[in-house]
Amino acid sequence: MHLQSVITQAPCPRAMTALMAATLAVLIDPILRFRDYRALLNSFSFAGIMKFSGTFTLVFLQVVALFYLITLLPGPLRAVVLLFSAFVVVIQLSYWLTLSQFMTGTDLFLALTVSGDHRVAAILSFFKPLVFLYALPYLLVLSVLIFVPPGYAFRETLLLSLLPALFLLVSNYALFLHVPERSFHLNPLTSFLRSALQCKFESLREYHGLRDDLPPFPASHRPHDSIIYVIDESVRGSNLSLNGYPRATTPFLQSIETRGRLKNFGICVAASSFSHVSNAYLISGHNAFPDDAFRTDKNPTIFDYAKKMGYETICIDINETCLYSLMKAAGDGPVRALDRWMNDKTFKERLIDLETTKDLGVARVLSTLLNEKSGYFILVNKKGLHFHYRDRYPDDPASTIWKPVMKATQAIDPSAAGREKLVNTYDNGIRLQVDEFFRLFVSETTNQNYVMLYTSDHGQTLAEHGQAYTHMKPDQEIVDVPDFLVSGEGYSKKGLLDGIAPGIRVSHLNNFATLLDLMSVPVSLRVRPYDKSIFALTEEDNKERYYMSGSLYGLGDYVVKSIPAPPEAGWGVSRPVGQ
Ligand SMILES: [Zn+2]
């Protein structure tokens, strides 16, 4: 083959090939991502240009080093690595086509820690066939590397790889320290390597010790009431008719509000546009962004307080995004004080069929538990409405109220016609996963001494401003979530609910102390300065409500934003297409 003979006859064939391929890779990048480069050049100051030139050179050398390492590998292993690289290029470009950026360390962390069906759903929601057109030039450049003939013995290979590997490690550490992650990156492969190392560097900095203890407190008797804390998934507050949405997505919730069984707090501001970040704040009561003091890992959890007050503590996690990874390190670890942990597997083992939507199955399980006994504190991570929405309700005419809907595996199409389907599908999902969940739970629970606090981890864009993504960006509409209390007819602390001031505005940060109040936790036992409980809020507390997006500990890329008081016009409002 001509190319192969050229490569073989060159002096230092590996280094020369790596250099040539890296140059090609860096040259095709501005052609393919022309708009990004143009925007970048327009945004630069002189200092910015200097910094960028430095980073540019560093990353170019990284591409050379990476390609050189690949050429050192023996034939079959090299083929495997090149195939994996091709896969990474396609994933990275899919990401870029959808979110205008390559994966960050946080994205990669999520890809590695969430359950399998979330991973598949994420890939499908991002995937567009167009990506192969973009990937092709990169793949051609990569394929050049296969032509370098294998040569060195094992020891020589090891010696030669030492320096480039060390360079990749050290240069990425320098990027970790000095260059924000989401800033421009030249190459999808080195960007991926950077994110992977970013994850590793972050995890070395994180807190891995025990949580703080609560002060000693005389043992409490098992309480007569039960508290259920439902953290739903991807439910946008303003798509509930309870919050004024023009379609009847939550008729049951409205009916119990009329009967005085539901206290609605309107549109709540979620702690984050990422599931794991919101959950970390919700279970620890931390209230500063980002969590650079690792308080979400050090604070006692809501389970610690519940246990101290005599409740039997249960966590039902059928979403497996946040607590799931914490539970893997259970024991005295991140989630102690938990009597029972129930997930998909538990239900399968007990032959409890959660049905297709799972959430309705959980509503039944909750009723069964309460009807048997009192004194539970149960936290539920619901399945909710994680994209694809079409998978979240049965494919029958009774559940398909608003039409036309999306196909089960369709990617988000932000055009008007695409958006109409997207919103219809989502609204059908709300009607079942939210309204029907409550209808089942409320009507099947005979033990009426309970209260349920309900919110969602974050909302959804619903492509409102043309977004092809659902969440995980700092857009204001993503932190629009519901927040309300539902109580049983015989709830023993009803007086507390009657004292809620009118006109208050809430955020996720108010939920922790609200739960402590519901558990009657004395002030002397509260070890952190939590945000005010909903029962203590007044209209005077209506100030900016903060949230964050990105790296929880502020080690990688993150942003802290706020919803002003009063919110900008249009925030907290959602409308079906054409209304
Ligand atoms: Zn989520």
- Tell me the CA–centroid distance for residue 120 and ligand 1, in Å: 15
- Tell me the CA–centroid distance for residue 109 and ligand 1, in Å: 14
- Tell me the CA–centroid distance for residue 458 and ligand 1, in Å: 6
Task: Give pLDDT tens digits along the chain (579 positions).
Answer: 466 666 666 667 888 999 999 999 989 988 888 888 887 777 767 777 888 888 889 999 999 999 999 999 988 899 999 999 999 999 999 888 887 888 888 888 887 776 656 666 777 777 778 889 999 999 999 999 988 887 777 888 888 899 999 999 999 999 998 887 777 778 899 999 999 999 899 989 988 888 899 999 887 899 999 999 999 999 999 999 999 999 999 999 999 999 999 999 999 999 999 999 999 999 999 999 999 999 999 999 999 999 999 999 999 988 876 665 555 544 555 578 888 888 888 888 776 776 667 899 899 999 999 999 999 999 999 999 988 899 889 989 999 999 999 988 788 899 999 999 999 999 999 999 999 999 999 999 999 999 999 999 999 999 999 998 888 889 999 999 999 999 999 999 999 999 999 999 999 999 999 999 999 999 999 999 999 999 999 999 999 999 999 999 998 889 999 999 999 999 999 999 877
What digits encode the pLDDT tens for the residues 216-226? Answer: 988 789 999 99
State the DSSP code for 263.
Answer: E
**3-state SS class at 151:** coil
- Tell me the CA–centroid distance for residue 132 and ligand 1, in Å: 29
- Tell me the CA–centroid distance for residue 422 and ligand 1, in Å: 18
- Tell me the CA–centroid distance for residue 438 and ligand 1, in Å: 20
Where does residue 562 fall: left (phi above 0), alpha (psi -120 to 50 degrees), or beta otherwise?
beta
Distance CA 519, CA 377 (A): 9
- Tell me the CA–centroid distance for residue 481 and ligand 1, in Å: 11
- Tell me the CA–centroid distance for residue 409 and ligand 1, in Å: 19
pLDDT score of 552: 93
pLDDT score of 60: 94
Residue 37 corresponds to which tokens in the numbers above? 């480069």
Distance CA 339, CA 177 (A): 41
- Tell me the CA–centroid distance for residue 417 and ligand 1, in Å: 26
What digits encode the pLDDT tens for the residues 283-292? Answer: 999 999 999 9
- Tell me the CA–centroid distance for residue 275 and ligand 1, in Å: 4
- Tell me the CA–centroid distance for residue 173 and ligand 1, in Å: 30
- Tell me the CA–centroid distance for residue 234 and ligand 1, in Å: 5
- Tell me the CA–centroid distance for residue 211 and ligand 1, in Å: 24
- Tell me the CA–centroid distance for residue 119 and ligand 1, in Å: 13
- Tell me the CA–centroid distance for residue 106 and ligand 1, in Å: 14
Give the domain ranges of the chain.
Answer: 2-205, 226-563
- In 246-286, which residue ranges form alpha helices assigned H by DSSP? 251-258, 275-284
pLDDT score of 357: 73
pLDDT score of 3: 64
pLDDT score of 141: 93
**Cis bond upstream, residue 118 (ω within 30):** no
- Tell me the CA–centroid distance for residue 383 and ligand 1, in Å: 9
pLDDT score of 508: 98
- Tell me the CA–centroid distance for residue 171 and ligand 1, in Å: 33
Phi, psi of 332 (to 5 degrees): -85, 5
- Tell me the CA–centroid distance for residue 274 and ligand 1, in Å: 6
The second-level CATH assignment, the architecture, of 226-563 is 3-Layer(aba) Sandwich (3.40)
